[in-house]
Amino acid sequence: MQYQRVLADETAMVAFGKDLANASGGRGVVFLQGDLGMGKTTLCRGVLQAFGHTGAVKSPTYTLVEPYELAGNLVYHFDLYRLADPEELEYLGIRDYFDNQALCLIEWPDKGAGILPKPDLTLSITVEGQGRRIKWQPKTQFGQQVADKLLEQTT
């Protein structure tokens, strides 16, 4: 099953990120898909703000991952846009990030195909008029729980 919602602007994207943080309880693997400029990092900012982050949130394009420890929650923000080969993730120690105690937000997950674990939830962002259409699809039982909570929070 796939869920969707139209978000009018950046403020709505941040709010959706906060809803995602609450629905996930601070754990899980979320793939963020969409072209450049669709709002993936903006959504991540909302997630991080929900856990108390007040600083800037930049996409970790060159470092590949930015860790955040906030209010007892671990959030890892990945941006794999510049990844040349998925095998590079092995050198990063990628598997160490994916325990059940962290929330992993992964931009450009297709670049890590074959190395990344199965996501709990996949989010796709596309242009919709002046705003964005966000679609979310659960891939695991936990992802289904998160998807249902998101639907409740955004209706």
DSSP state of 109: G
Does 104 have pLDDT greater than 60?
A: yes
Across the range 51-65, mean pLDDT stands at 85
Question: Where in the chain does DSSP place strands (E)?
Answer: 3-7, 28-33, 65-70, 73-79, 102-107, 121-128, 131-138
DSSP H helix total and E strand total for the chain: 4, 7
Across the range 116-122, mean pLDDT stands at 96
- What does the H/E/C string look like for 114-133? CCCCCCCEEEEEEEECCEEE
d(CA 54, CA 22): 17
| 0.85 surpassed by pTM | yes
Could you read off the pLDDT of 6-36 as tens digits, one per residue? 999 999 999 999 999 999 999 999 999 999 9
Q: Specify the pLDDT at position 139.
A: 96
Q: Starting at the earlier edge strand, list the strands of the sheet with 3-7.
A: 3-7, 131-138, 121-128, 28-33, 102-107, 73-79, 65-70
d(CA 1, CA 23): 17
Helix (H, G, I), strand (E, B) or coil at 88: helix
Structure tokens that stand for 5 in this block: 């919602």
Indicate the range of 35-39, 57-61, 65-69, 86-90 predicted with least confidence. 57-61
Does 116 have pLDDT greater than 90?
A: yes
Mean pLDDT score of the chain, rounded to an integer?
91
